[in-house]
Structure 1
């Protein structure tokens, strides 16, 4: 008779008359410590990495329960004493297996009990590992990779996601660059620097060449987004406030009543927001339900609500087909990374930035059909996007100056995603600016491609005006946590909390208290 670990508890209760609590099923998380309690919830196994959950090994005296968050749970508590004849290779009495040896950890325990994550058959019992990943009997997040191990499995969140493997949340950006200004979340507060023509820094007065705190937001900011001439912040509790230009209602207020504001304005009707995306004159918010709401300009359908009229309050997009996990907003289009790795876009499509194979605008979400695989991260700005697919950036839309990583003379624009080559190693993160893009790879290197008008590729603009071949940013430290790109500048958040920027600086957007462009990486003053 073939017996699996999943049904062992039922058989054992029937034969011994014990309660279900004494013999939890294989879905219960537990780490069987020496003489442990029945069905105890275990801690992650020693040596587990952040963002990775591992199934633990049975400890001394255990019954083979798998510990660790995200692993397969086993039978908790003490093992039963061996039955008479246990170890003789014959399955008799209350035994559920007998492989002829007194050892545990091979599928049949020292008490002749089937261990979780195994299947045993025959006499003497031959035990084989149950592949929970292939059988889909694991409890890994859809945004995690399941790896089978003997008797168990591990769950690891995909690139760009954080969590224990059972639950994986998209890493919320703490750095955002606009047309000519920059913003970041530092210690729960929003700080901005650079251009302040419309109050997009959240303070009165002119441009600021080093970071200033946004007035009135406090220390409960989770994310900040920078549009062309405005900014928004996601506040703890799921509400949104915006400031700066309001010419298209992007602050969530009627532009006839409010043209601009350096004071943050609460966007009415938004609750449960988990992420923001800020475009040129519109914004979108990802809700806890996985749905998306947008507001502001809507000339090309960039709000995704099957209309072409602006909205000064958030309106839900038409059906996406799946829950959204990440949002990006370009000049006049928006895109969402969906659960499962598909990408859906809506709005202007003159350059093919919707990625669905045509150049026709769409006021409702359409699936980007040409990614060549499932995406793990999405970036977009201006008139182009890039998705990370199998650790390779695949980009589509406007290719002026080679921002898609291809020769613009032969490919001026495309609605079909193309792979960016010559990035040195597998890519872990990609960012998109208005005329260029950048990527970080597993070797700790950073390369940029496209326009280099202000040194945003990390090269002297007097020598290189543009390059569709990625150029390495030479003096950027390897411990970059997050990359962001704006109008013609980029910034990187390092593991120690400091910020480095390069490129256009004519309005102080590099934050080094100067207004000279720099193709060399400079430090943002006062952070941390």
Structure 2
């Protein structure tokens, strides 16, 4: 995600958009939002900014609130201040006035604006419920109570944080307790003492007194839970990954709803991963596929191949004679390659690209946002993502085309290999480190340091093989820094 240049003194993010408060007091917003006006901050000076899902609010120097974005339920109709702080939810906001009382505006069909009478020190917002920390240390919540979001326990708290449909509080003794919806262990806060607390859409994290971080809740499909062992190849799909062990046998992990993470017990040299199917190239050059066979995406033709690539519902293979053959869904022409000879082929979501012997690239299939309009240049390697492609030149520089939300803004670094994913791309630099670019999604992609020999992009995760042949994976969901660990269940065994 492209962040504007310049100096800022505060930033607020929610969903796919962010707003920053510049040092001179003006506000600038960026990101991707169905409501474009949510990114159009008004002119003038502010002292604070708060970003919601479809609207945002700021506090002016005189303490008055100004809001912008969607106004279907009066989200922009802030009452008179002055305000100390504001909490923005999906379509409701609440402001903490300087004298300690809270007033809310916007959607009120779930009593989101029905604030209890009390003096507060903090107010926070979930999707459609709100909570406040009262001056005596107790917590009061209001709004939607479908999952017990309002059932705050007794006792004294020093902090409170709301997620999508859950809330967690930091008690005065340093322990954490949570209430609300308990899918995937969201309320199963670990024991011990904490000094700070943060709650997201489907997980929470706490800062312990020793400086370490512990998180609980969803790890989505386990796509970042790489197995132990040594590997010679790594391959990532939308929500699952596979590695080829030193014995040539594949091991897969992550989403397995259609057996796409159940490879055959055969020696493979390379693997291509779609969303609900996977294909591998056997040592004899033939292709074997597994997963659901919808529209023939797993029905590989006979013959000898040198490489294979999988899209969402189609697969393409490069035969030993240089001809490209594709199978599976062909609704957008993604399985109808042009004639002639190629030296490499790769597939995106609904399009494919081939590299010819003279270094030129030709693409076919969906071209809604230019993903099949490869530049007129010469490349030594290509990699195709969901709706964009990238080419590696002989001098190590990269050029990308297609979807324009930063996936095509390749850095000037010199690379030895590249891998294009759905939201971002990564390259292996000439000193064997990994550098990524593209849309940051909810959290910035945290790329681990160190040296790697290979890198592979999935839909929202990346895996790399370190030079000691171990695998490390990271993602916007749970790419956590050193010292951070997940506790509680993971989701996505598919069994």
TM range (shorter): 0.3 to 0.5
Higher strand share: 2
Rg: which structure is higher? 1
Q: TM-score, normalised by structure 2?
A: 0.45
Q: TM-score, normalised by structure 1?
A: 0.42
